[in-house]
């Protein structure tokens, strides 16, 4: 039995040598996350007995790619003008122009994040619109990890003295994609969106459609992960009594990619020595057995 074990160990060592010399496989993980809002309006802001005490509109973007400098940006705005952050990029590229919210890195490598919000959210003329995108594509050789993210949204502080109904309306869609080709690799994409109202007496209300809070992933070459939500009309009404409230509409998109770190390949010399040692042990075992049988 010991001789059989030594043979198996020797076979395993030689197999490792053959596999190691063949080299690591190449991989090309890809991920894309996008969400769009159109016809975005919030009625009730100008109703009698409603005062806006403060408001912020923000957009942000970020991008990380192995062995390159991370990039990130943020921008502020107003309810009447919106906000438009610059695109963040990392990696070799080439990258598309600003406010490209469709797949653009299918034939290029790197990561990017971008977002914008436009229109007049106070009057609804023109209606608000917002778009966000996070996209990444790793190069087909070497090892790397990357991530990109982006967000957009607004926060409104209100003083309500007369019971009022507020309605958020929009048409929104989302597209997610994640692809891997080799063992050990990973790709994921995610979007999120929520309209939250907090305020007097612990009041809390949240509207977060499942279609706009989704994710997809692919790992180890398991194929393509995808999610598509067609443009859909959404409407949510909240009734508020007298008090102080805060409205927040936030949305985001993220992607993450990984290429498996290659395992160290043993050098041929140590493997050869291991093989010689195992053969020697096997020879000694066989010789000892013959001597014992002759006695």
Q: What pLDDT, on the 0 to 100 scale, is given for residue 3?
A: 35
Same-domain check for residues 219 and 101: yes
Same-domain check for residues 278 and 172: no
Same-domain check for residues 83 and 205: yes
Same-domain check for residues 142 and 285: no
Residue 209 lies in a domain: yes
Of the candidates 33, 32, 29, the one whose C-alpha atom is nearest the C-alpha of residue 213 is 33
Q: What pLDDT, on the 0 to 100 scale, is given for residue 133?
A: 96
- Predicted TM-score of the model (pTM): 0.78
Q: What pLDDT, on the 0 to 100 scale, is given for residue 223?
A: 75
Asked if residue 163 lies in contact with residue 239, where contact means CB atoms within 8 angstroms, the answer is: yes
Q: What is the pLDDT along the chain (295 residues), one digit of tens a residue?
A: 333 333 333 233 322 222 222 234 445 899 999 999 999 999 999 999 999 999 999 999 999 988 889 999 999 999 999 999 999 999 999 999 999 999 999 999 999 999 999 999 888 899 999 999 999 998 765 455 678 788 889 999 999 999 999 999 999 999 999 998 887 789 999 999 999 999 978 999 999 999 999 999 998 888 788 999 999 999 999 999 999 999 999 999 999 998 765 544 444 444 443 444 444 444 545 444 444 454 4
Residue 266's contacts (CB-CB under 8 Å, 6 or more residues apart) are 16, 17, 20
Write down the number of H helices and E strands in the chain: 2, 14
Same-domain check for residues 12 and 132: no
Q: What pLDDT, on the 0 to 100 scale, is given for residue 5?
A: 33
Same-domain check for residues 230 and 272: no
Residue 239 lies in a domain: no
Same-domain check for residues 176 and 93: yes
Residue 24 lies in a domain: no
Residue 76's contacts (CB-CB under 8 Å, 6 or more residues apart) are 56, 57, 58, 83
Instruction: Tally the domains of the chain.
Output: 2
Sign of CA dihedral 207, 237, 36, 63: negative
Per the structure, the complete domain to which residue 277 belongs is given by: 2-19+268-289
Q: How far apart are CA 146 and CA 111, in angstroms?
A: 7
Same-domain check for residues 133 and 178: yes
Helix (H, G, I), strand (E, B) or coil at 66: coil
Same-domain check for residues 220 and 83: yes
For residue 31, give Cα distances in angstroms to 93, 103, 148, 166, 269. Answer: 15, 9, 10, 37, 41
Q: What pLDDT, on the 0 to 100 scale, is given for residue 201?
A: 84
């Amino acid at each position: 039995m010991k001789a059989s074990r030594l043979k198996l160990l020797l076979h395993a060592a030689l197999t490792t040598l053959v596999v190691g010399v063949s080299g690591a496989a190449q991989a090309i993980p890809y991920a894309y996350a996008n969400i769009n809002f159109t016809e975005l309006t919030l009625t009730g802001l100008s109703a009698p007995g409603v005062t806006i005490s403060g408001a912020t509109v923000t957009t942000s973007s970020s991008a990380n790619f192995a062995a390159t400098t991370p990039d990130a940006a943020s921008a502020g705005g107003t309810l009447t003008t919106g906000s438009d952050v610059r695109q963040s990029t990392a990696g070799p590229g080439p990258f598309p122009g600003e406010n490209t919210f469709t797949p653009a890195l299918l034939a290029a490598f790197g990561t990017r994040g971008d977002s914008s919000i436009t229109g007049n959210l106070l009057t609804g003329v023109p209606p608000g619109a917002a778009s966000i995108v996070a996209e990444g594509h790793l190069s087909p050789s070497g090892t790397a990890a990357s991530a990109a993210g982006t967000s957009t949204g607004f926060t409104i502080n209100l003083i309500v003295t007369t019971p009022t109904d507020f309605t958020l309306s929009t048409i929104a869609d989302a597209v997610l994609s994640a692809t891997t080709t080799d063992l050990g690799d990973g790709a994921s994409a995610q979007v999120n969106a929520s309209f939250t109202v907090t305020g007097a007496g612990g009041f809390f209300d949240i509207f977060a459609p499942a279609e706009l809070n989704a994710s997809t992933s692919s790992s180890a070459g398991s194929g393509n992960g995808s999610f598509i939500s067609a443009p859909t009309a959404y409407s949510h009404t909240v009734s508020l009594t007298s008090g102080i409230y805060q409205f927040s509409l936030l949305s985001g998109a993220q992607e993450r990619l990984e290429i498996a770190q290659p395992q160290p390949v043993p050098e041929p010399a140590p493997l050869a020595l291991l093989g010689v040692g195992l053969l020697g042990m096997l020879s000694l075992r066989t010789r000892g057995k013959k001597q014992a049988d002759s006695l």
